[in-house]
Amino acid sequence: MSTAGGNEGRHPLFMPLILVGGLIFGFGLGYSHMARPEVVLDFLQFEDFGLLFVMFGGAAVTGLAYSVVPRLFDRAPLTGDSFGRRLKHFDRNVLVGGGIFGVGWGLSGICPGAGYASLGVGNLPILWAIGGMFIGAYAQGVWRSHTAQSDGAPASAD
């Protein structure tokens, strides 16, 4: 995790860019229909494979940005941070957590970003899912804060 996003001395355009980036991101989730749980469930039940184009279309654009942007700028214009790829340490948690997330995604048809976008398209029942996500995130936070303390060992570097 970079130090990006600290409070002190932020560029005045930092928050506007985050907002505009979020707007484009959310518009895309709406346009792609991924904000509709039914569409995700159709994909997972092999009835419509179109959703592959959302994830890999998005990844193609970010992949291009990861290769081009660092050649244009030495450091990020609004934070001064250096450009890194999104590389996270691999351990068993990636598979365990990913597997648990998948059970929830397959049951509900919604993931976090699409859940927020779903609220934006007027789908108020999605608040059940967003509420559930907060409950789940809180439960794992309590549990992991507790185990980190009782171990007396430093928390894993994720």
Partner 1 sequence: MVADLLTIQLLTELFPNGVSRYAIGGLFVGVGAAAIYAGTAINAGASTFLESTLSYVSDRSRFSRYVRSRDWRLVFTLGIILGAAVYAVVFQGGAWTTDVAPWRLLVGGIFVGIGTRIGKGCTSGHGVCGVGSASKTSIAGVLAFLLTAIITAQVVAALGVTP
Of residues 48-107, which lie at the interface with partner 1 (CB under 8 A)? Answer: 48-66, 69, 72-73, 75-79, 81-90, 93-107
Provide the mask over 15-54, with x wherever binding to partner 1 is found by CB under 8 A and - wherever it is not: x-xxxxxxxxxxxxxxxxxxxxxx--x--xxxxxxxxxxx
Q: Which is nearer to partner 1, 123 or 153 (CB)?
A: 123
Looking at residue 154, the DSSP 8-state letter turns out to be: P
Residue with token string 């450009």: 83
With beta carbons less than 8 A apart as the criterion, state whether 24 and 85 touch.
no
For 94, the 3-state DSSP assignment is: helix
- Smallest distance from partner 1 to CB 8, Å: 9
- Smallest distance from partner 1 to CB 122, Å: 3
State the Cα–Cα distance between residues 139 and 67, nearest whole angstrom: 38
Residue with token string 């609004």: 78
Instruction: Compute how many residues bind partner 1; rule: CB under 8 A.
Output: 128
Q: Which is nearer to partner 1, 78 or 152 (CB)?
A: 78
| CB-based burial, 145-155: b 16+ in 10 Å, e otherwise | eeeeeeeeeee
- Smallest distance from partner 1 to CB 131, Å: 7
